[in-house]
Structure 1
């Protein structure tokens, strides 16, 4: 394991260095942390308007120094910095009690390269094509159950559906009794609250409720996962199976703990994010009849490019994850500032994708932005991060969104109130405040 880099914060930042950092608010660390956790989609734009494209905030633990960047060229500098110098794993340490120390999101340097190399065969183009029919079947089964003519909260239905995709397509669990046991347990795991993540910074909390209660549920899920891994290792038909876990076992050399940590990472990273981006996509289509018709025509014609463009524009206009981080392992020049070792860099996805300079008519939902030769410039669409740490499940997420959009749009007309729903923070994501309430009726 790579030795951790000390955070730049109250214990390691001297006054002379503090004066060289980008400007930022002088509020107490706790106040800044609360504003970041609860209001980042409005707090960050205010800070940029006041302090410019690069600003500094302080967050728990230890009043750590976080430099926020919002210009594409500056963010390209971050993503282009050698991964040995800009550690992504160290910026995600709060996730360790949940995802495990072998999680791809928590590893850096050679450990990360080795794990990513072993994961790649399960997410290449050939593998993704093999998952499409399973995802499509689950999507059809879900939309067949939508209530007709009665308003319902789509975000909840999307969360149930993407959870089912993970259980069956990623974990490869198809036994009905085991699925019935897993669903409520996994739902509690994925509903992790921000306070639980504090256990990553303050390990002594893990011995107290609610942390202890959460870890107990997680242990029950782990028992099932370890049993599933053991069964799969001895399955004589492993090579014929078409789920992510089986492909990982067939393509790499794994310990049970490493596999468990990757499965939980895929669960937590791929469940809420995909469900939320789909809810936002339907939220936009349901309020715009012309866009809805265009989406339906694409679904009828098998125009996957347009359906994927809907998903991409949803991620652009409604970034589910507002920022990604790195920690500097040595002094580095970024955005014209010489930043000390231990500085946390934060690429503000939400600020980049809401900038009129990057997207004309920036508040309009326009899937066509992602079609043709005039695609968004590099570094302006970054919902999956960038560089060597770009989300390994990006292709899977877009495939899943395409199949779910197709299943719903070939069957339904959807309508919603004309007034858009605001976003609210839910854990590390931004979700529709009213759950994307809409009404579905069979297409004429």
Structure 2
């Protein structure tokens, strides 16, 4: 700590670390954006429980971080607060050689070809859920998106098929993902889970563990293990360089990571996409036409839906920043930063730079059509050797689910104010749950009769 205190760091707020932590917990994007406006880039934060952070928004400086040695830039250590839920061997909380090996084992399950095999199941799950949506009444779509993405993970990644176990997982996982800030203290400090106030959290974690270990046992015993395409089967088949496979505990930690990191984040991205589309009628109309083209096999439809997803993740990144703890002194942006501090590439800060994205506050999927922003200019999945393993999976899922929503329901455009970004643990969700209104269900293909009998789209906020 002494070296950090003596180091010449970029300017930043002088508020006590506890106050800065409270402001981060309540106003994360707004607080960070306000600091950039006041102090420039880079700037330094001091956050209770997290330490000293230097925020970056210059793509050239972020490239140094993402391309730097993983032995110097520790992302797992920066994510250690998640280990209470994900487990000590989660790919998100480990570093160095063990991370490289774990990532090598997991990559094949999320290869483009492997993901493409799951798109039909994604569409079926989405269609079944959409059929239950109410018409004519406003409702928050975020819980529906969460149901869809959880089911996709359970069926395509874990490969769960036992009806009673699927039902139990559907029930317990939202309880783990929607813990209160008070309960989340016990995730950071697992010893608290023995106390009465947090025993319910411990019970839910025990239920989830029992179900996941049962899935692992079933998969290991499956005579068709060699031909299964779910990620769990592929992880069981994978081997370390010395031929050793993952233990049950290591498999459990990866499954929990995929459930948590691959379910809530994608559901939130989809919720923001519908929140943005319903507030931009011209974009919504074009997206509907793209969905119909996509369903007909026209690749231009896929291209526009992908552009909607990319622009959504630019203007409403689910995660606002990523962290790396320095294990050695490093020169960044003209400052000699000491070991022990965290450098934080600001995803939301980069995405709002007007020199990278003209009129950055405008939701404009056209800017993403035919464009391939660089990995330090568009970075909703992080970058470097820690770029999200499931990025391809998430983008395909967003395209497929958006396609099914837009071709199966007629959404009402909304004049309601944009929903604010609300902090939920380490992600940013729409503060009202992304409220939408469905005018009518469409036949597939769409019929004129449905539109003629549609209820009013008048919005009540």
Q: TM-score range by the shorter chain?
A: over 0.9
CA distance in 1, matches of 2:209, 2:327: 33
> C-alpha distance in 1, partners of 2:250/2:230?
17
Partner Cα separation in structure 1 for residue 141 and residue 122 of structure 2? 18
Structure 2 residue aligned with 1:160: 147
Structure 2 CA distance, aligned partners of 1:15 and 1:379?
Answer: 30
Query: 2:67 — aligned with what?
Result: 80
CA deviation after TM superposition for structure 1 residue 106, in Å: 0.6
- Residues 118 and 251 of structure 1 are in contact (CA less than 8 Å); yes or no, is this contact kept in structure 2? yes
Give the aligned partner of residue 48 of structure 2.
Answer: 60
Q: How far apart are residue 154 of structure 1 and its match?
A: 0.4
Match of 1:172 among 144, 148, 159: 159
- CA offsets 1:104-154 (integer angstroms, 9 cap, x no match): 001111000110000011011221111111111101111111111221110
Which stretch of the first structure deviates more once superposed, 160-169 or 247-256? 247-256
Cα distance between partner residues in 1 of 2:138 and 2:413 = 8
- Per-residue deviation, 1:200: 5.9
Distance in 1 (alpha carbons) for counterparts of 2:342 and 2:155:
37
Q: Which runs of 4+ in 1 moved over 6 A?
A: none
Q: What is the match of residue 376 of structure 2?
A: 379
Map 1:322-341 → 2, pairs under 5 A: 322-341=320-339
Distance 1:160 1:51 in 2: 42
Q: Report matched runs for 1:292-371 at 5 Å.
A: 292-302=284-294, 303-371=301-369
The C-alpha deviation readout for 1:349-400, integer Å capped at 9, x for no partner, is: 111111212111111111122222x433441111000011100000000111
| Structure 1 residue 147 corresponds to structure 2 residue 145 | no
Partner of 2:229: 242
SS of match in other structure, 1:106? coil
1:211-263 per-residue CA deviation (whole Å, 9 max, x = no partner) reads: 44312211111111111101110101123333221222233321101110000
Distance 1:297 1:385 in 2: 31
Whole-angstrom distance in 1 between the partners of 2:3 and 2:413:
51
Q: Deviations over 1:29-71 (max 9, x none)?
A: 110001111101110111111111111111122x711111122
Structure 1: gaps spanning 5 or more residues? 1-8
In structure 2, distance between residues paired with 1:356 and 1:93 = 33
Match of 1:404?
401
Shift, 1:95, TM fit? 0.8
TM-score normalized by the length of structure 2: 0.90
Establish whether residue 16 from structure 1 lines up as the match of residue 1 from structure 2.
no
Aligned residue pairs total 430
Question: Distance in 2 between the 1:214 and 1:389 partners?
Answer: 29
Determine if the alignment matches structure 1 residue 35 to structure 2 residue 35.
no
- CA drift of 1:197 comes to 4.4
- Once residues 227 and 246 of structure 2 are traced to their aligned partners in structure 1, the CA distance between those partners, rounded to angstroms, is 19
Change (3 A) 1:223 1:142: same
2:429 alignment partner in structure 1:
431
CA contact (8 A) 1:32 1:58 kept: yes
Q: Distance in 2 between matches of 1:165 and 1:114?
A: 26
In the alignment, the residues of structure 2 paired with residue 262 and residue 216 of structure 1 have an alpha-carbon distance, to the nearest angstrom, of 20
Relative to structure 2, which stretch is displaced further, 287-296 or 200-209? Answer: 200-209
1:161 CA displacement: 1.1
Q: TM-score, normalized by length of structure 1?
A: 0.93
Whether contact under 8 Å (2:23, 2:31) holds in the other structure is: yes
Q: Choose the corresponding residue for 2:211, options 202, 206, 224.
A: 224
Distance in 2 (alpha carbons) for counterparts of 1:48 and 1:207: 41
CA RMSD across the alignment: 1.6
Against the structure 1 CA distance between its residues 272 and 297, is the aligned structure 2 distance closer, same or farther, given a 3 Å change threshold? Answer: same
C-alpha contact (below 8 Å) 2:84/2:188 kept by paired residues: no
Measure, in 1, the Cα distance between the counterparts of 2:226 and 2:70: 34
User: CA 1:336 to 1:294, structure 2 compared with 1: closer, same or farther past 3 Å?
Assistant: same
TM-superposed CA distance for 1:207, in Å, is: 3.2
CA distance in 2 between partners of 1:29 and 1:207 (Å):
29
Partners of 2:42 and 2:169 lie apart in 1 by 44
1:93, 1:200 within 8 Å by CA — same for their partners in 2? no
Partner of 2:391: 394
1:201 is displaced (CA, Å) by: 5.2
**Correspondent of 2:269 among 273, 277, 288:** 277
Distance 2:142 2:6 in 1: 49
Which deviates more from structure 2 when the two are superposed, residues 192-201 or residues 375-384?
192-201
Match of 1:410, SS state, is helix
